[in-house]
């Protein structure tokens, strides 16, 4: 199997801008690998690869996937769970280095970071977007933590001071902390991309990797490659997608009766060209994404590659629902609530 050398990038705590470009490394890695944050230990067919040291040693079996978590005992007695522990769980489930955003990646984006070891969390809201509606729901339910996928403030809109002020006022007045997973949850094991595969009943065995933009650099498993071998028609996959997402229509291009050989699945918004430059070479004839930019869809049409642009919000919600479940298993003394509100309406 082909593999690529990697070293881990860093990660900050403030959500940064969307990726505008990245370097393409070697072809897709076989995906029975586990991507860990600390030590970057990777398991691949009985071989333990220590990427940070460049050494290879035999192991009898791979370790448990990072999403297979056991309920942890609460610290300091009683039923108290502290913000610090929840952040550690989030960073193990969705390692900050799994981001294409660079060093300004996932982390705690609102609230005093010096007090996380003393802040007790009893209720938390998990959401795709930390909208004012989401913040209001957290306040009404007396939750003091919001875990969001998208940033609290988009850099491009920071000049809209009324919005920034209102969010800051509400969060400060009611002592609500905000943690942002960023795009690392798109790429992590059991994250948004794999949630899409599971919902569409697509079994993947390879990771589609791109080069990260962190200061230390690393290959990031942005997508999953599915070997279909003509087992499903384009129409069957689109019907499954519409049923799961509750959509009457989805944006796509393809012959409903066509049988595909290989598909690439990437969660979230894909507005960068790098995956397309390698798809033809890797024999991929179907591209499934949370959302594709208009320019990218036009490029795929010109190349004769079929695609499905499912729904950014609904597919992100699949992954955030999964994250809520994993957090509930890890911290049973905390009530995690899913804010499923969609700011967009399809009419």
Asked if 94 and 67 count as a contact pair (C-beta separation under 8 A), the reply is: no
The pLDDT value given to residue 214: 53
Beta bridge partners of 204: 226
Of 309 and 152, the structure prediction assigns the larger pLDDT to 309
Closest residue by Cα to residue 286 from 316, 270, 267, 309: 309
Q: Which two tokens stand for residue 148?
A: 């969001």
Beta bridge partners of 287: 264, 307
The pLDDT value given to residue 18: 38
The pLDDT value given to residue 39: 36
Of 151 and 252, the structure prediction assigns the larger pLDDT to 252
Query: Using CA atoms in the order 144, 92, 341, 169, what is the torsion angle rounded to 10 degrees?
Result: 30
Q: Please report the sign of the dihedral spanned by the C-alpha atoms of residue 149, residue 155, residue 157, residue 159.
A: positive
pLDDT tier at 211, thresholds 50, 70, 90: confident
User: How far, rounded to the nearest angstrom, does the alpha carbon of residue 114 sit from its chain's CA centroid?
Assistant: 27
Q: Which residue has the tokens 């919600």?
A: 317
CA distance 329 to 325: 6
**What does the domain layout of the chain look like in residue ranges?**
186-314
Q: Is the pLDDT of residue 22 over 80?
A: no
Q: What is the pTM of this model?
A: 0.76
The pLDDT value given to residue 72: 47
Asked if 279 and 307 count as a contact pair (C-beta separation under 8 A), the reply is: no
CATH of 186-314, one of 3.40.1390.30, 3.90.228.20, 3.30.379.10, 3.30.70.1230: 3.40.1390.30
Q: Is the pLDDT of residue 104 over 70?
A: no
Q: Is the pLDDT of residue 307 over 50?
A: yes
């Amino acid at each position: 199997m082909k593999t690529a050398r990697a070293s881990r990038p860093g990660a900050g705590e403030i959500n940064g801008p969307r990726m505008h470009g990245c370097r393409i490394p070697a072809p897709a890695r076989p995906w029975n690998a586990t991507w860990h944050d600390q030590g970057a230990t990777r398991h691949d067919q009985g071989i333990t690869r220590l990427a940070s040291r460049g050494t290879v040693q035999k192991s009898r079996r791979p370790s448990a996937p990072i999403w297979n978590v056991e309920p942890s005992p609460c610290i300091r007695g009683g039923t108290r769970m502290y913000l610090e522990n929840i952040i550690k769980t989030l960073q193990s489930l969705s390692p900050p280095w799994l981001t294409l955003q660079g060093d300004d990646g996932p982390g705690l984006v609102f609230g005093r970071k010096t007090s996380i070891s003393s802040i007790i969390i009893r209720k938390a809201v998990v959401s795709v977007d930390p909208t004012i509606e989401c913040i209001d729901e957290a306040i009404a339910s007396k939750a003091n933590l919001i875990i969001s996928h998208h940033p609290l403030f988009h850099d491009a809109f920071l000049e809209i001071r009324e919005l920034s002020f209102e969010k800051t006022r509400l969060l400060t007045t009611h002592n609500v902390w905000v943690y942002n997973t960023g795009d690392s949850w798109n790429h992590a094991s059991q994250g948004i991309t794999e949630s899409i595969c599971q919902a569409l009943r697509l079994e993947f065995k390879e990771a589609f990797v791109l080069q990260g933009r962190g200061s230390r650099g690393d290959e990031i498993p942005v997508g999953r490659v599915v070997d279909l071998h003509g087992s499903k028609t384009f129409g069957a996959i689109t019907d499954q997608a519409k049923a799961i997402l509750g959509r009457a229509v989805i944006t796509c291009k393809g012959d409903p009766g066509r049988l595909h050989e290989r598909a690439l699945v990437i969660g979230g918004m894909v507005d960068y060209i790098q995956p397309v430059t390698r798809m033809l070479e890797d024999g991929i004839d179907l591209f499934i994404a949370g959302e594709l930019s208009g320019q990218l869809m036009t490029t795929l049409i010109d190349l004769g590659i079929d695609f499905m642009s499912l729904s950014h919000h609904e597919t992100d919600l699949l992954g955030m629902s999964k994250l809520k479940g994993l957090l509930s298993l890890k911290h049973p003394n905390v009530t995690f609530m899913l804010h499923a509100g969609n700011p967009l309406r399809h009419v």
